[in-house]
Amino acid sequence: MSALYCVFGNPVAHSRSPDIHHAFAKQKEEDLCYEKREAPLADFVGALQAFRADGGLGANVTVPFKEQAFGQCDAVTERANQAGAVNTLWWDGDQLNGDNTDGAGLVKDICDNLAWQIQGKRVLVLGAGGAVRGVMGPLLAEKPTLVRIANRTAEKAEILARQFMDGSNSPVLGSGLEGLSGQFDVVINAISAGLHGEMPALPDGLLADGAVAYDMVYGKEPTPFMRWAEAQGAAAVSDGLGMLVEQAAEAFEIWRGWRPDTAPVMAMLR
């Protein structure tokens, strides 16, 4: 019988996760079945229990269930605890464990695949939602000289910055998008509306010489944020497809005990 895994979301029809995990399993000819499961908005717990009853071994969790998944876990990793959200679940006997692999996926894509540096750099993060909370811990572990979180609602960014300032060796600042100033070496966009052409207006002059720009979302065409960064003179830009594949590889390693080769999977998705 195939080892059963899935991704929970609502909606979830667009997810590429089955393609990714089946490609990973094929690298060692492992017998693995990975499904999309659209959980009812009002009954994620019921969907989780039904999946376990079907023999499910582990699951990925996407919008809007990451915080609910965190609350269902008997044990979570430190990075999941920092994020207050879980995107990877697995059972050990009756114990449900949770991790958040988003930040590790982002950092691996930026530092290893793209060969950009975070250490010693001034980093600007756009947005202050769950996606940002999920990546802040691994981002700060790379020791940037500064991280500024900028959001439409300044208060939300300021609260998030204070939460991550504790125990961080790098200054973490929060502010609104309006009146944003300074120059940054790495700009990361986590405003999901940007995928639909709804990027907020950003001031000129935010990119330092040689700055790079990364959009957490991905699509067939360059995103509005990527186009903005190119127009501002960014040395390089990237979408978030690599982050998607690398966070999946991190989850796969937790479940299966070996790390797949991500390069051919990214090439396949492109």
Closest by alpha carbon to 118, among 106, 128, 127, 129?
106
Return the number of other C-beta atoms located less than 10 Å from residue 60's C-beta. 27
Sign of the dihedral defined by the CA atoms of residues 252, 160, 143, 123, in that order: positive
Residue 66 appears among annotated catalytic residues:
yes
Is residue 189 left, alpha or beta, with left meaning phi > 0 and alpha meaning psi from -120 to 50? Answer: beta
For residues 21 and 252, the answer to whether their CB atoms sit within 8 Å is yes
User: How is the chain split among helix, strand and coil, in percent rounded to 5?
Assistant: 40, 25, 35
Amino acid of residue 145:
T
In whole angstroms, give the CA distance from residue 257 to residue 252: 8
Question: Beta strand pairing status for 122-126 and 146-151?
Answer: parallel
Which residue of the set 66, 121, 143, 220 is catalytic?
66
In whole angstroms, give the CA distance from residue 123 to residue 147: 5
Residue 8, H or E segment: strand 3-9
Cα-Cα-Cα-Cα torsion 17, 18, 21, 25, nearest 10 degrees, comes to: -170
Angle between helices 130-141 and 154-165 (to 10 degrees): 40
- SS3 string, 74-124, reads CEECHHHHHHCCCCEEEEECCEEEEECCHHHHHHHHHHHHCCCCCCCCEEE
Catalytic residues: 66
